[in-house]
Amino acid sequence: MWQRMAFVTAVVLLGFSGGVLALFVRGMHAERGAVAGFCFVSALGVVQAWMVASEIAKARRLYGNIRNACYRGAQAKFRVVSLVGLCAIVGVLPIALIGASSGAPARFATVMLGGAVLSTIAALTVLPVLIARIAE
């Protein structure tokens, strides 16, 4: 159980780095709106990573081989995790593109955009590789 939480934390930290990178690219500072975005990114990263890690654990009980289980687990949850990330991205895209460039909603949307993209990629690619490397 503690290993799964460590993997989830890794995905959340990668999501945070996506939010920080997005703020840096847009030239914004991390203020109130950005903090709310980081809270949402952490929740999104936990959900996505937990779904993939749970499916990998289930596949490991079925197949036994950890590499095969990581591949099958990520493959089985690809659509679900992608759609969760895509919904978050599409939901904040209008605020990020049309909203005021320096207001709190724009910071929130910028952090959400960068964090959702990177946490989705991390949950589907980095997490299975990390699990396979550590479990071997």
For the stretch 96-130, pLDDT in tens is 888 666 677 888 888 899 999 999 999 999 999 98
Instruction: Give the distance from CA 102 to its chain's centroid.
Output: 25
Q: Label residue 27 left, alpha or beta by phi (over 0 means left) and psi (-120 to 50 means alpha).
A: left
pTM: 0.85
Instruction: Give the distance from CA 133 to its chain's centroid.
Output: 20
Q: Domain 2-135 in CATH: superfamily?
A: Multidrug efflux transporter AcrB transmembrane domain (1.20.1640.10)
Extract the tokens encoding 128: 């299975």
Sign of CA dihedral 5, 7, 10, 15: negative
pLDDT digits (tens, 9 = 90+) for 4-25: 778 888 888 888 899 889 889 8
Q: Please say whether the beta carbons of 131 and 70 come within 8 A.
A: yes
